[in-house]
């Protein structure tokens, strides 16, 4: 088994003709059959119920935090409710690919659903903020599997041409969950209470689990339990999770809770680097079956698509979190209206995902459409950065839709590009790699954007707000956007200008990221998208 794995990793590093020859010689590709047309819609829906809920759970807390902090009297700690979920998702997503190779897709999906359901139940029953944070970690472990294993399972069921269209639909479902999380959370909180925003998800997860159990019949890996345990890269998994958690904690608390130069932040960054170095060494030289074959990143398509995903998730989550703040603080729009203001982003991403899926299915190509959408993302960041105190609503809507289109196109194309660039035996771990980059990108993006926003806002307020009550007013405005409505009138416009400056600071950062996305997508190569599941490896297009 180890020799076979080493062969597969080596194959991904070779040019395509040599890869095909080695695959044929080693006979590492099994014959597979497509799922019948009647079963596919049922399985797809059951998979993507989980994807929708996992995405929704990542943003639903945005409108719950004020209510939760009021009930538990823990305003300073309440942001960990959001951060804990994102960190758990980011840390666990890369692990599910190899674990599902060892234990099977169905087992992984059932485990993920159970974890997610337990986490949501505990969230709804939590009696203090730290129980809620723990529950969010449990839900995040489940949510990581729901998102990554849905894509991995589709790889096993349909060929890449058809997969591109289904992935486009799946991207729409994911983006719908992420975009509507705030609106859903606000509505449920106003009608039933914040706890029901979590509890109401549990019956849907149960239905999804039952449907998967009875309808998903993929090949189950053989072998005794002891043999399967021996295949798990425990040391690599531990060092990977440790490095990700340490990095993400440092980014989350630095500049928000403690200064960047504090012992806690430096300690987290330092040991995060040590853990990352240990993980790299283990995966390259020690692990029998690496949890993430790092050598895959030598493949330019895998490398380019991975980092493109990392960067676009940083951009997208910066948009999801800070566009509503712009509308509330600068344009005097209510929180509910601000939540709906990002719906054009979802509509645009839906159009981009469908367009990319249609093009890939009909032409079998993705490269130029990916690069074009990356350029659209970069341009849209520049346009959003031009939003002012008086920008018209139709212009805002058009630009936000434009940004969503680029995001949806890149997200869909890059996953298909990665899968097409590696042998079938490595599809699962490659998909997990990309979802790992997505998860860390969203968390890192929010952390860095928050730091930029808070520092620019604090600095600008200090310059613009002067007088005997300046310190009190600045403190109130930094703690809550709603305080803008309660300060003396002569300070309202300087505060709005300060919030606008902080918003622009975030999007200067996004412009830089957008240019890097273009470069990352340009690194990729064009590969043939196969029309059947029984492929060896997608050969590079002429």
pLDDT, mean of residues 449-465? 85
Quick one: which of 94, 352, 355 has its CA closest to 237? 94
- Is residue 303 scored above 60 in pLDDT? yes
- Do 272 and 247 form a contact (C-beta atoms < 8 A)? yes
- Is residue 159 scored above 50 in pLDDT? yes
Instruction: Kindly state the tokens that stand for 379.
Output: 């341009």
Predicted confidence at residue 60, as pLDDT, reads 83
Query: Burial, 100: exposed, middle or buried (Cβ in 10 Å; 0-12, 13-18, 19+)?
Result: buried
Query: 3-state SS of 272-333?
Result: HHHHHHHHHHHHHHHCCCCCCCHHHHHCHHHHHHHHHHHHHHHHHHHHHHHHHHHHHHCCCC
What is the rounded average pLDDT for all residues in the chain?
81
Query: 3-state SS of 173-193?
Result: HHHHHHHHHHHHHHHHHHHCC
410/382 Cα distance (integer angstroms): 18
Predicted confidence at residue 224, as pLDDT, reads 61
Q: What is the DSSP string of 361-403?
A: HHHS--HHHHHHHHHHHHHHHHHHTT--SS--HHHHHHHHHHH
Q: Name 88's Cβ contacts closer than 8 Å, sequence gap at least 6.
A: 136, 137, 138, 139, 140, 141, 143, 144
pLDDT, mean of residues 31-57? 77
Query: Burial, 458: exposed, middle or buried (Cβ in 10 Å; 0-12, 13-18, 19+)?
Result: middle
Instruction: Kindly state the tokens that stand for 409.
Output: 């196109």
Task: Pick the range with the lowest mean pLDDT from 247-256, 277-286, 310-319, 528-537.
Answer: 528-537
Q: Residue 279 falls within a domain, yes or no?
A: no
pLDDT tens for residues 46-74?
A: 888 988 998 888 778 766 766 776 677 66
Please report which confidence band the pLDDT of residue 538 belongs to, taking 50, 70 and 90 as the band edges.
Answer: very low
321/329 Cα distance (integer angstroms): 13
Please report which confidence band the pLDDT of residue 534 belongs to, taking 50, 70 and 90 as the band edges.
Answer: low
∠ CA 3-9-10, rounded to 5°: 85
Please report which confidence band the pLDDT of residue 338 belongs to, taking 50, 70 and 90 as the band edges.
Answer: confident
- Is residue 216 scored above 50 in pLDDT? yes
- Do 349 and 368 form a contact (C-beta atoms < 8 A)? no
Please report which confidence band the pLDDT of residue 225 belongs to, taking 50, 70 and 90 as the band edges.
Answer: low
pLDDT, mean of residues 111-123? 94
- Do 9 and 21 form a contact (C-beta atoms < 8 A)? no
Q: What is the DSSP string of 328-354?
A: HHTT---HHHHHHHTHHHHHHHHHHHH
Predicted confidence at residue 37, as pLDDT, reads 60
271/84 Cα distance (integer angstroms): 19
Q: Which residue has the higher pLDDT, 211 or 94?
A: 211
Instruction: Kindly state the tokens that stand for 115.
Output: 């974890």
Predicted confidence at residue 40, as pLDDT, reads 80
pLDDT tens for residues 366-385?
A: 899 999 999 999 999 999 99
- Is residue 522 scored above 90 in pLDDT? yes
- Is residue 258 scored above 90 in pLDDT? no
Please report which confidence band the pLDDT of residue 226 belongs to, taking 50, 70 and 90 as the band edges.
Answer: low
pLDDT, mean of residues 400-423? 89
Predicted confidence at residue 255, as pLDDT, reads 66
Segments forming the whole domain that contains residue 64:
2-19+36-216+288-523
- Is residue 214 scored above 80 in pLDDT? yes
415/353 Cα distance (integer angstroms): 12
466/256 Cα distance (integer angstroms): 24
pLDDT, mean of residues 288-295? 78
pLDDT, mean of residues 386-397? 91
Query: 3-state SS of 42-83?
Result: HHHHHHHHHHHHHHHHHHHHHHCHHHHHHHHCCCCCCCHHHH
Instruction: Kindly state the tokens that stand for 533.
Output: 């599941």
Choose the most confident range, by mean pLDDT, from 118-122, 211-215, 232-236. Answer: 118-122
**Cα Rg of the chain, angstroms:** 23
- Is residue 318 scored above 80 in pLDDT? yes
Predicted confidence at residue 22, as pLDDT, reads 36
What ranges make up the beta strands (E) of 417-472? Answer: none
Q: Residue 147 falls within a domain, yes or no?
A: yes
Predicted confidence at residue 32, as pLDDT, reads 45
Predicted confidence at residue 1, as pLDDT, reads 44
Q: Residue 257 falls within a domain, yes or no?
A: no
Quick one: which of 90, 89, 121, 109 has its CA closest to 48? 109
Phi/psi at 254 (nearest 5 deg)? -65, 125
Characterise 425 by phi-psi region: left (phi > 0), alpha (psi -120 to 50), beta (else): alpha
- Is residue 79 scored above 70 in pLDDT? no
Q: Residue 172 falls within a domain, yes or no?
A: yes
138/140 Cα distance (integer angstroms): 5
- Is residue 29 scored above 60 in pLDDT? no
Quick one: which of 346, 347, 339 has its CA closest to 323? 339
Q: Residue 235 falls within a domain, yes or no?
A: no
Q: First and final CA of the chain: distance in angstroms?
A: 34
363/204 Cα distance (integer angstroms): 37
Q: Residue 299 falls within a domain, yes or no?
A: yes
Q: How many CB atoms lie within 10 A of CB 489?
A: 6
* 207 HSE (CA, 13 A, CB side): 12
- Is residue 180 scored above 60 in pLDDT? yes
The alpha carbon dihedral of 61, 67, 70, 71 has a sign of negative
174/176 Cα distance (integer angstroms): 5
Which residue carries 């709906």 as its tokens? 340
Task: Pick the range with the lowest mean pLDDT from 28-32, 252-256, 466-470, 527-531.
Answer: 28-32
Q: What is the dihedral of CA 364, 370, 376, 382, to 10 degrees?
A: 170
Predicted confidence at residue 541, as pLDDT, reads 39
- Is residue 88 scored above 50 in pLDDT? yes
- pTM score: 0.77
Q: Residue 224 falls within a domain, yes or no?
A: no
Burial per residue of 218-255, b for 16 or more beta-carbon CB atoms within 10 angstroms, e otherwise: eeeeeeeeeeeeebbbeebbebbbbbbbbbbbbbbbbb
The percentage of the chain sitting over the pLDDT mark of 90, rounded to a whole number, equals 24
Beta bridge partners of 540: 527
Q: Residue 244 falls within a domain, yes or no?
A: no
Predicted confidence at residue 401, as pLDDT, reads 93
Predicted confidence at residue 12, as pLDDT, reads 43
In this structure, what CATH number is given to the domain that contains residue 155?
A: 1.20.1250.20
Q: Name 210's Cβ contacts closer than 8 Å, sequence gap at least 6.
A: none
122/131 Cα distance (integer angstroms): 8
pLDDT, mean of residues 460-472? 83
- Is residue 45 scored above 60 in pLDDT? yes
Counting the structural domains of the chain, the total is 1
Which residue carries 């990143």 as its tokens? 297
The percentage of the chain sitting over the pLDDT mark of 70, rounded to a whole number, equals 85
Query: Burial, 391: exposed, middle or buried (Cβ in 10 Å; 0-12, 13-18, 19+)?
Result: middle
């Amino acid at each position: 088994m180890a020799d076979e794995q080493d062969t597969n990793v080596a194959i991904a590093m070779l040019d395509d003709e040599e890869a095909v020859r080695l695959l044929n010689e080693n006979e590492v590709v099994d014959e597979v059959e497509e799922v019948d047309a009647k079963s596919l819609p049922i399985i797809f829906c059951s998979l993507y119920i989980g994807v929708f809920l996992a995405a929704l759970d990542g943003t639903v807390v945005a409108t719950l935090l004020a209510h939760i902090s009021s009930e538990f009297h823990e305003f300073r700690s309440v942001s960990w409710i959001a951060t804990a979920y994102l960190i758990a998702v980011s840390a666990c997503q890369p692990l599910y690919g190899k674990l599902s190779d060892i234990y099977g897709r169905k087992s992984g999906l059932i485990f993920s659903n159970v974890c997610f359901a337990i986490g949501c139940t505990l969230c709804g029953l939590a009696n203090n903020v730290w129980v809620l944070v723990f529950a969010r970690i449990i839900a995040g472990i489940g949510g990581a599997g729901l998102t990554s294993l849905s894509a991995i399972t589709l790889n096993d069921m349909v060929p890449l041409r058809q997969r591109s269209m289904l992935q486009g639909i799946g991207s729409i479902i994911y983006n719908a969950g992420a975009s509507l999380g705030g609106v859903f959370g606000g509505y449920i909180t106003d009608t039933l209470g914040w706890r029901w925003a979590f509890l109401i998800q549990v019956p849907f997860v149960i239905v999804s689990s039952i449907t998967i159990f009875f309808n998903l019949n993929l090949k189950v890996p053989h072998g005794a339990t002891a043999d399967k345990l021996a295949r798990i890269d425990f040391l690599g998994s531990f060092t990977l999770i440790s490095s990700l958690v340490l990095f993400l904690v440092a980014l989350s608390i630095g500049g928000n809770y403690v200064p960047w130069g504090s012992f806690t932040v430096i300690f987290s960054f330092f040991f995060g680097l040590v853990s990352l170095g240990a993980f790299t060494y283990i995966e390259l030289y020690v692990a029998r079956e690496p949890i993430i074959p790092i050598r895959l990143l030598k493949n330019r398509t895998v490398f380019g698509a991975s980092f493109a995903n990392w960067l676009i998730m940083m951009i997208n989550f910066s948009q999801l979190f800070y566009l509503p703040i712009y509308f509330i603080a600068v344009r005097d729009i209510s929180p509910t209206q601000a939540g709906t203001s990002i719906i054009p982003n979802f509509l645009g991403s839906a159009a981009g995902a469908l367009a990319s899926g249609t093009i890939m299915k009909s032409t079998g190509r993705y490269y130029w459409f990916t690069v074009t959408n990356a350029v659209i993302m970069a341009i849209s960041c520049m346009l959003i950065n031009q939003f002012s105190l008086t920008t018209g609503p139709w212009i805002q809507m058009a630009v936000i839709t434009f940004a969503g289109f680029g995001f949806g196109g890149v997200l869909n194309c890059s996953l298909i590009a990665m899968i097409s660039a590696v042998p079938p035996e490595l599809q699962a771990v490659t998909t997990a790699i990309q979802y790992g980059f997505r998860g860390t990108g969203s968390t890192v993006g929010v952390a860095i954007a928050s730091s930029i926003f808070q520092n620019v806002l604090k600095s600008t307020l200090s310059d613009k707000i002067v007088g005997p009550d300046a310190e009190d007013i600045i403190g109130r405005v930094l703690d809550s956007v709603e305080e803008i409505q309660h300060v003396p009138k002569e300070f309202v416009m300087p505060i709005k200008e300060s919030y606008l400056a902080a918003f622009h600071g975030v999007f200067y950062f996004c412009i830089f990221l957008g240019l890097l996305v273009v470069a990352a997508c340009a690194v990729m190569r064009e590969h043939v998208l196969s029309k059947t599941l029984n492929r060896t490896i997608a050969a590079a297009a002429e």
